[in-house]
Structure 1
Amino acid sequence: MSQDDAGIDLDTSLGYVLKEASSALRAAMEEVLRPLGMNVTHYSCLELLAQRPGLSNSELARGAFVTRQTMNVLLQTLERDGQVTRAVEAAVGKAIPTRLTPHGRELLGRASAAVRSVEERMLSGMTPEERTAAFGSLQSMIRALRAGADTAPGNEGESL
């Protein structure tokens, strides 16, 4: 059987290794966030709001890589728990902006420290130069894939 018949060689597939790294990173993050009563999506939402206050449900969902429905459920829980506030109605259009509360900021501080420890552990065997090169390589891959999505069959004229 030729390589074409066998499919992708997982031992040399960069895509497979990236997915494996992503899964390992998520599992390690979940492990350090669990004692704080959080998961990766919860943490991502708070981090996004700290960096970009007033994001809408749709913007938060895109930034956290979840559906709008999943984000809406999470935001209802975070609002109930006093971690975020949302306007009763939208100032403009239909989007209701969300902001962190002081309690949400305090939780985010502890979660960010935990997540930083995971990232440092992940990068501990790399030199600063290797870290910079890895970061640049991953950004290049993302750009290439996003550019390819614009030109893929069936996506003519569509943008991301």
Structure 2
Amino acid sequence: MDPPHPARDVTEHVGYRLKRSAAALRSAMDRALREHGLTVPQYACLELLDQRPGLSNAELARGAFVTRQSMNVVLRGLQDAGLVSRSATTDHGRALPAHLTAEGRGRLDTARSDVYTIESRMIAAVPPERLSALLADLDRMAEALGG
């Protein structure tokens, strides 16, 4: 079978390049977030709750690209650290809404600064006039695969 585009080896495939970029971003975030006592999924959870307080475990899992079971572990760790609160009961259904605590918001604010610095370094490699097109292309690729 012929490759989907001209490529001498696997390192020239789009999927490989996307994975390499994602791995580099993840590694940089892991290192930075370790200084704040957070993992990447924990940071993603805090960001999501800052933007949309009251999300359920399932909604947080979808937003952070982890399983519901993994998000349960993430939420438990964040609760134990006093960064997130969840009520013991809910007014409707079984989903328990989660909220940032004041300590969680503070930790997010300090970690966010380091994460934004990493993202700034990453996008500085893209000419500013091409950034919008790159973002649109990435969205179209994800949508083409049902994501």
TM-score by length of 1: 0.84
Partners of 1:63 and 1:124 in 2: CA distance: 26
RMSD: 1.7
Partners of 1:3 and 1:142 in 2: CA distance: 22
Q: Which residue identity lines up with residue 31 of structure 1 in the other structure?
A: R
Q: Which runs of 4+ in 1 moved over 6 A?
A: none
Identity rate, percent: 46
Q: 1:52 is matched with which residue?
A: 52
Q: 1:91 is matched with which residue?
A: 91
User: CA separation of 1:134/1:46 partners in 2, compared to 1, >3 Å: closer, same or farther?
Assistant: same
Mark the runs of 5 or more structure 2 residues left unpaired by the alignment. Answer: none
- Give deviations 1:80-112, integer Å, cap 9, x for gaps: 211111011121000000000110000000111
Q: 2:105 is matched with which residue?
A: 105
- Given the alignment of the two structures, is residue 80 of structure 1 paired with residue 80 of structure 2, yes or no? yes
Partners of 1:24 and 1:127 in 2: CA distance: 19
- Give deviations 1:48-74, integer Å, cap 9, x for gaps: 000010000111111111111111112
3-state SS of the aligned residue for 2:99? strand
Q: 1:150 is matched with which residue?
A: none
Q: Which residue identity lines up with residue 69 of structure 2 in the other structure?
A: Q
Q: 2:69 is matched with which residue?
A: 69
Return 97-106 or 137-146, whichever deviates more.
137-146
The Cα of 1:3 is off from its aligned counterpart by: 5.5
The Cα of 1:30 is off from its aligned counterpart by: 0.7
- Given the alignment of the two structures, is residue 146 of structure 1 paired with residue 138 of structure 2, yes or no? no
**Larger relative contact order (C-alpha < 8 A, sep ≥ 6)?**
2
Return 38-47 or 65-74, whichever deviates more.
65-74
3-state SS of the aligned residue for 2:35? helix
The Cα of 1:133 is off from its aligned counterpart by: 1.4
3-state SS of the aligned residue for 1:99? strand
TM alignment of 1:130-141, pairs within 5 A: 130-141=130-141
Q: Which residue identity lines up with residue 41 of structure 1 in the other structure?
A: P
Partners of 1:50 and 1:18 in 2: CA distance: 28
Partners of 1:86 and 1:117 in 2: CA distance: 31
Partners of 1:87 and 1:61 in 2: CA distance: 18
